[in-house]
Amino acid sequence: MNQKAIGIFDSGVGGLTVLRQIKRELPDESVVYFGDTARVPYGSKSAKTIERYCIENAIFLLEKNIKMLVVACNTASAYGINKLRRLFNIPVVGVIHPGAKAAVAVTKNKRIAVLATRATVASEVYPKAIHSIDPSIEVISQACPLLVPMIEERMGNHPAAALMIEEYLQRVKEKACDTILLGCTHYPLLHDEIKKALHPSVFIVDSATTCSKEVKEVLLELGLENRKGSSAETRYFVSDDPEKFRETGERFLNTPITEVLLEGIH
């Protein structure tokens, strides 16, 4: 029983798909969200730089007095999570392992496709995480670098986005994967467009949903959950352009955001 907040960070707005699921799973928990919008995107940066950004973001949230840290960004989870676990003495939950576990649980033909940013693909964290559970599974990794800008530009249902999705799914279809893992927290916003481009039997696992389930499990396991829900609040911080974050964020959350504060490390 603990009334402190859950801290969540992402390079920008993408992690709000994780926040949305956490609020659904755990409506009584307070949440502090940090979007590192001054340095977004992480997906095209080097491992060392991403790791440094993760540490700085974690310190920012720790100073907001959190009980758990959620890395709601696949790229940051890929490069930063081990370091964060070594450095800080609160539980750290990322998006990689919960997603990998769920994908392994649903695949029947043992061919999983992972759609992600270039950096996440290059890190090979998803193949590693999947193989640590079942080494016989074939993992097809596909970098989809144009999907994030298309989502942020509200071009998700433009014919150009459909063409790009078709392009990115070509190899996935050739390999007849029966499970697609959305390995970027932006991609749930293209769920329907991706679904449309695939055979109806293909299962889509979304790492935002699986991460929020893991958050709940860990909270309960460690007895850190809050049972006095009346005081639950959600606070938003960004390192740049709070107004733009508010606008885009409301689209991600499908609910109004009243206040976004400009703070954090640059």
Active-site residues, by number, are 73, 184
- Terminal Cα-to-Cα distance of the chain (whole angstroms): 34
Which residue in 45, 67, 97, 186 binds a second copy (CB under 8 A)? 45
Which span (123-131, 143-151, 207-215, 225-233) binds a second copy, by CB under 8 A? 143-151
Per rule CB under 8 A, is residue 240 in the interface with a second copy?
yes
Convert residues 189-228 into a mask of x (bound to a second copy by CB under 8 A) and - (unbound).
----------------------------------------
Which span (86-94, 107-115, 159-167, 228-236) binds a second copy, by CB under 8 A? 159-167
Q: Find the shortest distance in angstroms from Cβ 257 to a second copy.
A: 17
Name the pairing type of β-strands 203-206 and 179-182.
parallel
Residue where the block lists tokens 């790791």: 51
Per rule CB under 8 A, is residue 145 in the interface with a second copy?
yes
Burial 64-95 (b: 16+ CB within 10 A, else e): eebbbbbbbbbbbbbbbbeebeeeeebbbbbb
Residues whose CB falls within 8 Å of the CB of residue 18, separated by 6 or more in sequence, listed in order: 8, 10, 70, 72, 95, 185, 208, 211, 212
Do the Cβ atoms of 208 and 191 come closer than 8 Å? no
Helix axes 74-87, 47-62, angle to 10 degrees: 60
Which residues contribute to the annotated binding site for substrate? 10-11, 42-43, 74-75, 185-186
Which residues form the interface with a second copy (CB under 8 A)? 37-40, 44-46, 49, 52, 145-146, 149-150, 152-153, 155, 158-161, 163-164, 167, 240-241, 244, 266
